Amino acid sequence: MTVENGIASVVAIDRVAVKDTSLPKGHQEPGESLQQTAIREVLEETGFRAKPVEYLGEFTYEVKNDANKKITMVTVHWFLMLIESGKPRKVNNVKTLKKGVYHFNVKNNSIEQLRKGSNKNFLVDNTGQSFVGDSSCVIILSAVLDRTRIKYEERGYRFILMECGHVAQNLYLISEAMRLKCCAIGGFVDEEFNKLLDIHGIDVLQQTIRYPLLKNVELQKEKQSVIEEINKDRFEPNIAVWDYAWNEAFWRGSSLARPYTGNVNDLNDISITDVQKFIDEISFNKGVLCIAGNFDTNYALNIVEKYFGDIKNKGKNAAQKIAPHKGGSLKILPNNTDNTYLMFGFKTIKKDHNDTHALRLISRLLGGSFSGILVNELREKGFIYDWVLDQDLLQEEGYIYFKTSTGRKFLNETIKQICYSFKRVAKGKFSKEEFEIAQSQTIGELLLNMETTADYNGWYGEQEFLSGKSYTPQEIAKIYKEITIDSVAKVAKKYFTANNWYLGLVGKASPKEIERELIADVEPTVEMLGKIRELNVGKRMNIDRTRYVPLD
């Protein structure tokens, strides 16, 4: 009986009434109270009444303030739709009212005509219920959220839902009292009802984003939740290898070297003012509107521009870049776990670079499936059981990485095999069959994963946000088909070099043993020269050593 996602969460905006009709005061049939009506058997077969609905005042019942009982005034508002019947009986109307869409005006106890004409076909088509077309009237509940939030703040959402249920219950009771049938409907086409009534939920999003109700007590609760998450991630090796090892090795010298969840010291310094300042930086000019499915694009754009178009762009944010260096980068976080967790990879390119698609094929060739060159070797030897081999491409920087865990006794051999497999691809030592399998799997995954509107929103939204242009899955699939085996080897050789690698580990790992494996001048490793030099490490992260390997 509501309009937005099955709950009372929509708002009527800029409504202009065609006609204002006063309503009679509510009354009961002689000799029967609402309490007596509720007791009466609800399954009594009374059928539809042959005459028009006459007591519309029953649906505008009010409980006003009583000095003795101290009852706060309760008012209800809704839309009425009078529809034309296809049956001989003229039961689908309300006496003294013409067919159309009406809004109940709470202050004046009147109804305002918004639209004229029959809505029978619309109701049947957009509810999937034929009996709705034969109803005398359809009542649609809506709510103005801010009227409740001003007084009750975030709890107001709860009250709105509760009141929606109360109103629906009263409608059932009043219908029984009038010998009418009543049926609540929660399944309908939201967008079509929103258009008909000229209401939508976009102002709820706008209010939440731009003018949230910030309270210090809520901020402290959120801080505590984040602190718990930070502590959990710090001691979860599968997460810590990314946050406390890989990020520090790859993004060193920039704010991105910090854990994704931040650290406790910085969190304690955040105030309400800081949060509000962050919210103020949100700009419509930096946003991306994604629409997928059967939807009126112009309608959506007009609404968004109405509520967000006044926000001015405050300038472009500075991009994060990695400080240039020569040599590999190694970061070890000691941890007393049975397995050692590691991430190994190479710095590559930003999101919209020409080599992006070739690198995607390379990641699939190495370990994007069970048949990958690297994964197949490690699994056959029993070194690993789970892994991720993927790219992480941002606006200015990117990398290809292999993330896995292995037993302590297999660590050195695992690192050897990883280095060997990357080097093998860089030298073009893979078969045509291996390449074609990777190519086919990449294209198949791309096309088959586009199933829902969320998939398309994610696909186009990310492209628009990062580059301002977008390609269809079919266009990208065509690019993959045109990539040759020689071009893949050429791209791999460009990035998989001895001075471009990064390695982060969490677990029982000996730095000297790892250095020996990486520096050793043998085929299964990346050749490196030079000595390890130590850098100072802050005590805050409890990292024992950060190491860099200068290379020729």
Listed ranges 111-120, 213-222, 260-269, 499-508; the one with the highest mean pLDDT: 499-508
407-433 confidence digits (pLDDT tens): 988 988 898 888 888 988 998 999 999
429/508 same-domain check: yes
Instruction: With H, G, I as helix, E, B as strand and everything else as coil, classify residue 483.
Output: coil
Question: Under 8 Å CB-to-CB from 98, ≥6 apart: which residues?
Answer: 82, 113, 116
302/349 same-domain check: no
Relative to beta strand 501-507, strand 328-334 is: parallel
431/524 same-domain check: yes
Using CA atoms, how far apart are residues 308 and 13, in angstroms rounded to an integer? Answer: 16
- State residue 362's pLDDT score: 92
- State residue 29's pLDDT score: 53
407/515 same-domain check: yes
Helices 373-380 and 356-367 meet at what angle, rounded to 10?
20
- pLDDT above 90 coverage of the chain, percent: 11
* Confidence bin at 327 (pLDDT 50/70/90): low
Using CA atoms, how far apart are residues 365 and 359, in angstroms rounded to an integer? Answer: 9
47/153 same-domain check: no
525/434 same-domain check: yes
Q: Model-level pTM greater than 0.95?
A: no
Structural domain span for residue 82: 3-86
- State residue 471's pLDDT score: 87
Q: Is the model's pLDDT at 435 over the cut of 90?
A: yes
419/532 same-domain check: yes
540-549 confidence digits (pLDDT tens): 223 233 333 3
- State residue 308's pLDDT score: 66
Pick the more confident residue, 436 or 191.
436
266/367 same-domain check: no
Pick the more confident residue, 26 or 275.
275
- State residue 9's pLDDT score: 33
Last residue of a domain, which of 21, 51, 86?
A: 86
Question: What average pLDDT does the structure give for the chain?
Answer: 72
Listed ranges 5-9, 162-166, 463-467; the one with the highest mean pLDDT: 162-166
Rounded (to 5) percent helix, strand, coil in the chain: 45, 15, 40
Q: What CATH number did the domain enclosing 75 receive?
A: 3.90.79.10
266/414 same-domain check: no
Across the range 180-208, mean pLDDT stands at 77
Q: Is the model's pLDDT at 14 over the cut of 50?
A: no
Q: Is the model's pLDDT at 62 over the cut of 60?
A: no
Across the range 332-353, mean pLDDT stands at 86
Whether residue 322 lies inside any domain: the answer is no
Question: Under 8 Å CB-to-CB from 23, ≥6 apart: which residues?
Answer: 56, 57, 60, 109, 110, 111
399/485 same-domain check: yes
82-104 confidence digits (pLDDT tens): 443 333 223 345 667 788 888 88
Nearest to 249, CA basis, from 335, 387, 343: 343
Out of 88-92, 372-376, 418-422, 492-496, pick the least confident: 88-92
Tokens 């990035």 identify what position? 495
User: Are residues 145 and 204 in contact, defined by beta-carbon separation less than 8 angstroms?
Assistant: yes
- State residue 540's pLDDT score: 29
Both structure tokens of 530: 């030079």
Residue 329 C-beta-side C-alpha neighbours within 13 Å: 23
- State residue 531's pLDDT score: 30
- State residue 490's pLDDT score: 94
Cross-strand partners of 110: 22, 105
Count of structural domains, the chain: 4
